[in-house]
Amino acid sequence: MANPVFRPATLDDAALAADLSTASYPGEPQDPVVTRFRWTHPKDGWSVGRFIVEVDTKPVAFTYWAHGPWSLVPERHCDIGAEMDPACESDELLDLVWKWIAGQASADGARIIHAYAAEDQPNILESLRRLGYERDRSDKVWELDLKKHGRQLLAEATAARDRMKNEGIELLPLSEWQGTETLQGLHALNEAAEQDIPTSQPILAQSFADFMDRINSPNLPHDRLWIALHGARAVAMSFLRFPPVRGNVWTGFTCSHPDYRGRGIATAVKLQSLAQAIELGIPAVRTANDSENAPMLHINERLGYDARPEYVSLVKWVNSQ
């Protein structure tokens, strides 16, 4: 095997990185427009390294590391990834790329490195095992067949809207909300809800600017972000992400404020999002939840989601350079 060359990725490589990621896992295509948007809107204070791997001048993989400000992550958690074209894949090259990007993360100060792979990517999982990574936790992945369950979901969405109205809860898309709190209220809701997500890493506060980038992404039209209002207060939200070029439609986030849980509001607002996808002709939607997130897993099971291969998080402790 010729020695691979690791070159820093530029913004012009965003589409190439999306193509390499898609080749690495064809069941989950990555959208080039969304990839470029994310690269041009980094999270406040985060550090990121992105690289294209070439063999004999041919791009064969995209690899990266990313972490929040070390001042807010005292244990120094860092995510890494390596997405390789299977046509160029070998055990030797996989091990080399994963080892190289971990070295870059370590050189930047990381002490706990997190790597990710799907359950049906055995070559990657085996490579990470050889390199000393241990399984940490997993996200359960689900797919909902909207053709199969469409009629029932539309009926449930209508019933949920009526029930919420009787309880003084209004369900509507963000594009129709003209309240005084508006986006600040959604940001506050997001921050309150995210802290309850099971995780092995600290969940860092998201700035309002970062939140605005998130909801202004090209895969999230504001008429497809659904919210639940109690008076002028946003108490729940749910939205799907619709890739503009390619990819599956995914749930971006579903949550309710801690003060309003146990009333079925999260399910009601999620149903509006699903009903809209049905009306738009979307055949299926996917979602992922941490395996310890019992409330959301229960909602998915009740709505008829079918299980898919999980996403696995693996971890390795390293000595920073």
DSSP 71-86: TT-TT-EEEEEEEE-G
Same domain membership, residue 18 and residue 123: yes
Same domain membership, residue 272 and residue 221: yes
Q: Which of 111, 132, 153 is the last residue of a domain?
A: 132
Split at pLDDT 50, 70, 90, the class of 181 is low
Same domain membership, residue 56 and residue 146: no
Q: What is the mean pLDDT of the chain?
A: 91
Q: Residue 317: inside a domain, yes or no?
A: no
Tokens representing 165? Answer: 């109205």
Same domain membership, residue 267 and residue 189: yes
CA 267 from chain centre, in angstroms, equals 20
Nearest C-alpha neighbor of 130 from the set 95, 102, 157, 155: 95
Give the range among 131-140, 173-182, 275-284, 306-315 with minimum mean pLDDT: 173-182
pLDDT at res. 35: 98
Same domain membership, residue 248 and residue 172: yes
Question: Sign of torsion, CA 115 116 119 125?
Answer: negative
The amino acid that residue 78 corresponds to is C
The count of other CB atoms within 10 Å of the CB of residue 168 is 9
Judged on CB neighbours under 10 Å (0-12, 13-18, 19+), 8 is exposed
CA distance 47 to 197: 23
Most confidently predicted of 108-112, 139-143, 200-204: 108-112
Tokens representing 63? Answer: 């690899």
pLDDT at res. 198: 60
CA distance 142 to 309: 8
Q: Which of 132, 154, 182 is the last residue of a domain?
A: 132
Nearest C-alpha neighbor of 61 from the set 89, 35, 32: 89
Length of the chain: 321
Contact 88, 295 (CB under 8 A): no
Tokens 């992105």 belong to which residue? 50
Q: What is the dihedral of CA 288, 292, 296, 297, to 10 degrees?
A: 80
CA distance 119 to 98: 17
Q: Which of 132, 164, 196 is the last residue of a domain?
A: 132
pLDDT at res. 255: 86
Measured CA to CA in angstroms, residue 113 lies from 13, 102, 273, 274 at distances of 25, 7, 35, 36
E-assigned strand segments in the chain: 5-8, 47-55, 58-67, 77-84, 112-118, 134-145, 169-173, 225-230, 233-241, 250-256, 284-290, 306-317
Same domain membership, residue 150 and residue 115: no
Q: Which domain holds residue 37?
A: 5-132
Same domain membership, residue 283 and residue 166: yes
Same domain membership, residue 173 and residue 307: yes
SS3 21: helix
Question: Does pTM surpass 0.95?
Answer: no
Nearest C-alpha neighbor of 272 from the set 162, 142, 167, 139: 162
The count of other CB atoms within 10 Å of the CB of residue 246 is 13
Same domain membership, residue 154 and residue 122: no
How many domains is the chain built from? 2
pLDDT at res. 262: 87
Same domain membership, residue 194 and residue 268: yes
CATH number of the structural domain spanning residue 22: 3.40.630.30
Same domain membership, residue 305 and residue 180: yes
Split at pLDDT 50, 70, 90, the class of 140 is confident
Same domain membership, residue 107 and residue 186: no
